[in-house]
């Protein structure tokens, strides 16, 4: 990354070193990401141009301008317009933001297992005259306050909990700042101290300006700045009446302690949703889900009426998921059920083709703590509708043990009716059925 020293009048000594940073305008984002990886590791930041086209930026502005600004997460003043939980509040921006370029950059610079943990939109008007002093981003956004070793202090902004976590979590986080406007020193571009992210918690009042260098980061419209939150950074006042709009996204691949959840966890890689309901989305299961599937079958109450037994180990569960071929053979199967609000893995639900009986059945299994909340009915209803509409199924059955009254109630809510009794692994069983509307066998 080329650095250009600011000019200094002869006879004057600078109190600190200061540089401008930018990239050549013909840089192609998909070229030489290794160089950007090294810059991120060594300097704590890097700049990539031409990630978003003018048309994509116009579409993003269209979604933002059409949003209802009366919501509590929208902050509007003379000096600033900001949206917290940006992706939740303006979901129409998601397919625009995660274009192929950004997805490849994130996947290569961070890793395919990274997910969104925070999203904010800043619009600093040209008339704004505020600045932000040097600081590190030392907090993460979570869903609740819980007293845990190494977590604290706590703050609350707009009903959102923020806490300083252990240093290892902060070191894991990476930030992408998407610039919807060209940004330089005139409209408050970030100033950073290269390498400061490698010094742990670095208090601004202890900065030794005889040793440190200040860099002003020039980012063109449609470019991005990738940085580590522990990098010391500041921003200046606007001096040339140009506005500055930035979408700030934070990524991590760390699961928080059980008592806490990221407030905005958003998966961007891996299996994509097959189905969405009001509260849930369903996706294919992979060997990466082995630990939760192992835990699900480990509960004797969960498998009591299923005829299944617990897996011997997580490795055994991973092998089962790796060999599970229903998706490839039929296009459907048992899908992971994920709660949208916190990305929690609730259990599974889906369709199965029984070759011996030549029939399709609906099945579901959830962790006990999620029972009684309507998740089975909500997910199974969507699966049945998909089976009829997309896969052309004429009849779908549900097979249950007679003692499993809770599952029977779910089948009846779904519109399935009694067909016959049968032997369920040596236990009294019942077959329920539902037909494609207009087809009654």
Residues 308-329 pLDDT 10s: 999 999 999 999 999 999 999 9
CATH superfamily of 275-435: Gcn5-related N-acetyltransferase (GNAT) (3.40.630.30)
| Angle, alpha carbons 43-238-128 (nearest 5°) | 125
Q: How far apart are CA 167 and CA 13, in angstroms?
A: 37
The fraction of the chain above a pLDDT of 90, given in percent, is 70
291 membership: H or E segment, kind and range: helix 290-298
Q: What is the pLDDT of residue 28?
A: 41
Q: What is the pLDDT of residue 30?
A: 45
Task: Give the torsion through C-alpha atoms of 345, 346, 347, 352, to 10 deg.
Answer: -90
Q: What is the pLDDT of residue 79?
A: 54
Q: How far apart are CA 255 and CA 262, in angstroms?
A: 8
| Angle, alpha carbons 396-432-414 (nearest 5°) | 70
- Is pLDDT at 20 greater than 70 in this prediction? no
Task: Tell which phi-psi region holds residue 307, choosing left (phi > 0), alpha (psi between -120 and 50) or beta.
Answer: left
pTM attached to this predicted model:
0.64
* Topology (CATH) of 3-252: Jelly Rolls (2.60.120)
Average pLDDT of the chain is 88
User: The tokens of 273 are what?
Assistant: 């949703």
Domain boundaries, the chain: 3-252, 275-435
24 with 18: CB under 8 angstroms? no
DSSP string computed for 262-281: BTT-B--SSSPPSEE-SSEE
Residues 409-434 pLDDT 10s: 999 999 999 999 999 999 999 999 99
């Amino acid at each position: 990354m080329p650095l250009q020293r600011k000019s200094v009048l002869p006879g004057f000594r600078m109190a600190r070193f200061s540089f401008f940073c930018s990239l050549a305008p013909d840089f192609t984002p998909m070229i030489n990401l290794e160089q950007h990886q090294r810059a991120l590791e060594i300097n704590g930041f890097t700049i990539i141009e031409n990630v978003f086209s003018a048309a994509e930026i116009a579409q993003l502005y269209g979604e933002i301008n059409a949003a209802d600004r009366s919501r509590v997460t929208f902050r509007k003043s003379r000096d600033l317009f900001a949206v917290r939980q940006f992706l939740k509040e303006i979901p129409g921006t998601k397919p625009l933001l995660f274009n192929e370029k950004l997805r490849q950059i994130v996947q290569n610079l961070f890793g395919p297992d990274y997910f969104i943990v925070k999203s904010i939109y800043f619009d600093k008007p040209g008339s704004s005259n505020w600045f932000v002093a040097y600081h590190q981003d030392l907090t993460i956004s979570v869903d609740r306050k819980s007293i845990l070793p190494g977590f604290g202090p706590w703050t609350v902004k707009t009903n959102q909990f923020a806490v300083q976590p252990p240093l290892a979590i902060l070191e894991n986080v990476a930030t992408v700042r998407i610039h919807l406007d060209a940004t330089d020193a005139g409209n408050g571009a970030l100033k950073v101290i290269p390498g400061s992210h490698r010094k742990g918690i670095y208090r601004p009042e202890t900065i030794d300006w005889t040793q440190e260098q200040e860099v002003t980061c020039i980012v063109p419209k449609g470019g991005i700045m990738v940085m580590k939150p522990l990098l010391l950074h500041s921003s200046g006042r606007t001096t040339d009446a140009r506005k500055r709009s930035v979408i700030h996204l934070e990524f991590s691949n760390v699961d928080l302690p059980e008592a806490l959840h990221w407030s905005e966890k958003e998966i961007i890689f891996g299996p994509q949703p097959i189905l969405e309901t009001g509260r849930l989305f369903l996706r294919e299961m992979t060997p990466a889900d082995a630990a939760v599937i192992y835990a699900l079958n480990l509960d004797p109450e969960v498998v009591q009426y299923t005829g299944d037994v617990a897996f011997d180990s997580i490795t055994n569960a991973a092998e089962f998921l790796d060999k599970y071929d229903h998706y490839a053979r039929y296009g459907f199967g048992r899908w992971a059920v994920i709660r949208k609000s916190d990305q929690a893995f609730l259990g599974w639900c889906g369709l199965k083709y029984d070759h011996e009986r030549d029939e399709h059945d609906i099945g579901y299994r959830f962790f006990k703590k999620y029972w009684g909340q309507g998740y089975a009915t909500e997910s199974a209803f969507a699966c049945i509708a998909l089976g009829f509409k997309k896969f052309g199924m004429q009849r779908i059955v549900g097979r249950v043990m007679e003692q499993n009254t809770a599952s029977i109630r779910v089948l009846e809510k779904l519109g399935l009716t009694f067909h016959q009794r049968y032997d369920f692994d040596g236990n009294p069983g019942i077959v329920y059925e539902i037909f494609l509307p207009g087809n009654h066998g």
